[in-house]
Amino acid sequence: MADNPFDLLAEKYDRWYDEEGREAFAVELAALRRVVAELPHPWLEVGVGTGRFARALGIPLGVDPSAEMLKLAQARGIRTVQAVAESLPFANGEFGTVFLLTTWEFLSEPERALLEIRRILKPGGMLVNAYLDRGGKWAKLYLRKAEAGHPLFSRARFYDYNEVIRITRESGFDVVRTVSALFSGPGEDTAGDEPKEGFHPGASFVVIVGRSQTDYIRTALI
């Protein structure tokens, strides 16, 4: 869609990973690699964007609403489907693990998105939600950019850890692990910025791993 800011800024967004975001991305990947080894397949990334995380982690399939982002993901060898998180075009119980990787901030209805993810997961399937915590230095920068009218971040909503945990549990997931990372801010040295188990205030990048509850009763969202 022509009015989708991710379509308009896809190439600029993608360059961030090679330029000013290169070191931060390396820290984020280190945190994710702590949790992915035992996750069940098949894997899907919701909000795959340009495919940076998917290619690095070996996620073969991704969905995203931005056609221009998906073109770049396809060039990286990712199979793609154009869709939104709140309405996923997959059968019930199709996946072992679903990833949300810096997508949470841009979900229009996170509760509906998690219910859809639960639907397409196998019984006891896994969710990996890596989000930018509101209390971290990177989110604070993006909030300032949002206030200045940035075309992407003005559409984002940043949550704190307790909010994400509450929504995750209310949507039918047991939280089984948390990893915190990226304590340095934009332009700061990331040397020694190692991921830490559990939630640590000040982390910008927080990875929450949830297991789908097999006895969860889905309730209607008004």
Which amino acid, 107? L
User: Is residue 27 scored above 70 in pLDDT?
Assistant: yes
pLDDT tens digit string along 62-92? Answer: 999 999 999 999 999 999 999 999 999 999 9
200: phi then psi, degrees, rounded to nearest 5: -125, 120
Which amino acid, 168? T
Average pLDDT on 83-107 reads: 96
Confidence class of residue 218 from pLDDT cuts 50, 70 and 90? low
| Domain-embedded: residue 84 | yes
| Domain-embedded: residue 221 | no
* Mean pLDDT score across all residues of the chain: 91
pLDDT tens digit string along 108-124? Answer: 999 999 999 999 999 99
Is-above-0.75 flag for pTM? Answer: yes
| Domain-embedded: residue 219 | no
**Which DSSP category does 104 fall into?**
G
Q: Is the peptide bond before 42 cis (omega within 30 degrees of 0)?
A: yes
User: Is residue 220 scored above 70 in pLDDT?
Assistant: no
Average pLDDT on 2-15 reads: 73
Is residue 136 classed as helix, strand or coil in its secondary structure?
coil
| Domain-embedded: residue 217 | no
Domain that includes residue 34, residue range: 5-212
What pLDDT does residue 153 have?
81
| Domain-embedded: residue 54 | yes
Q: Give the number of domains in the chain.
A: 1
| Domain-embedded: residue 74 | yes
Give the CATH number for residue 15. Answer: 3.40.50.150
